[in-house]
Amino acid sequence: MPINQKIPTWFAVPAVFAVLSVISYQTLIVPENLEGAKNVLTMAKTIPIPVAGPESIEFDPKGEGPYAAVVDGRILKWRGDDLGWVDFAYTSPHRPLGLTFEKKTGDLYICDGYLGLMKVGPEGGLAELIVDEAEGRKVMFANQGDIDEEEDVFYFNDSSDKYHFRDVFFVAVSGERSGRVIRYDKKTKEAKVIMDNLVCNNGLALNKDRSFLITCESGTSLVHRYWIKGPKAGTRDIFAKVPGYPDNIRLTSTGDFWIGLHCKKNLIGRLIVNYKWLGKLVEKTVKLEYVIAFINGFKPHGVAVKISGETGEVLELLEDKEGKTMKYVSEAYERDDGKLWFGSVYWPAVWVLDRK
């Protein structure tokens, strides 16, 4: 075609749209790069699980496990490569989430995303419901908790007192402040709200000396701190902000915290979360699977962050950038033997990375 000849409209228009589509995809959808992240999660060993979504994992006082909470209401126990996964406990046909063993009794506390806080003995079986309301409001979305064994107190998140687990992404993107932290006194059986006005507070953990707890908001990526003891007792502040959408939190033996990140952020996710009108529009008009796909850039991947237990600063960022091995990380659990275990809110697998 001669240089001075005009490009036909039938050719130019599709070409322009094609270029704009590429630019839009790169700008809106592609997840952001994480500075300093180590792409090492691809080296983790995959342990398939027969049911999807081992959202939380836990080890019993004897060090056995992990135990995993899965979507059909069961708590499964890993018995090694020879025996595989076996049934341990049952909650409801809905969704058990956060798992916490009490060391002195062997009881397992279970946050059920529909019923409330439940408990089962060290032999397993059918879990009993122990908390389903606090201060006159139903517990709709118990998510993760932690126990102060000296004080006989259990702290847990109610991510929303209006929605159940199935609406988790809509709760996060709508910006609705219906999340709470509840303090359950095992001796008096009293359930008291100690934090509220939170946006889908997901993970929760006590620090090493039990002087404060932290809880993270999935949509805002903020990690809030609530002081339990000391001169600041009863007050709260912002402890950290993490580079992704946080899920469960686990304390390490050295006093730091691992936080599972559902995915890295992209521009479209930021827009949905930061503009409430857009978040509410998405909630009403877009199917959940599409919301998830847009936010993770149509490429499920694995990310976890370790933050300081003293300052909240980021100490380590680990990822599976392309999602070759790990996807939808909900929890990172560091063991004293150097192994780092991972759960997933949607994927039918648990992973373990040997760091020694």
Q: Are 187 and 231 in contact (CB under 8 A)?
A: no
Closest to 260 (Cα-Cα) out of 313, 215, 303: 303
Cis peptide upstream of residue 66 (ω within 30 degrees of 0): yes
Q: Which two tokens stand for residue 247?
A: 């899920």
Strand 125-126 vs strand 85-90: parallel, antiparallel, or unpaired?
Answer: parallel
What length is written for the chain? 356
What's the distance, Cα to Cα, between the start and end of the chain in Å? 63
Q: How far apart are CA 348 and CA 155, in angstroms?
A: 28
Residue type, 209: D
pLDDT of residue 280: 79
pLDDT of residue 110: 98
Q: How far apart are CA 184 and CA 134, in angstroms?
A: 9
List of the chain residues with pLDDT < 70: 1-23, 25, 169-170
pLDDT digits (tens, 9 = 90+) for 257-284: 999 999 999 988 888 888 888 887 887 8
pLDDT of residue 3: 45
Residue partners of 138: CB distance under 8 A and separation at least 6 = 116, 132, 161
Q: Are 120 and 107 in contact (CB under 8 A)?
A: yes
pLDDT of residue 22: 56
Q: How far apart are CA 21 and CA 237, in angstroms?
A: 42
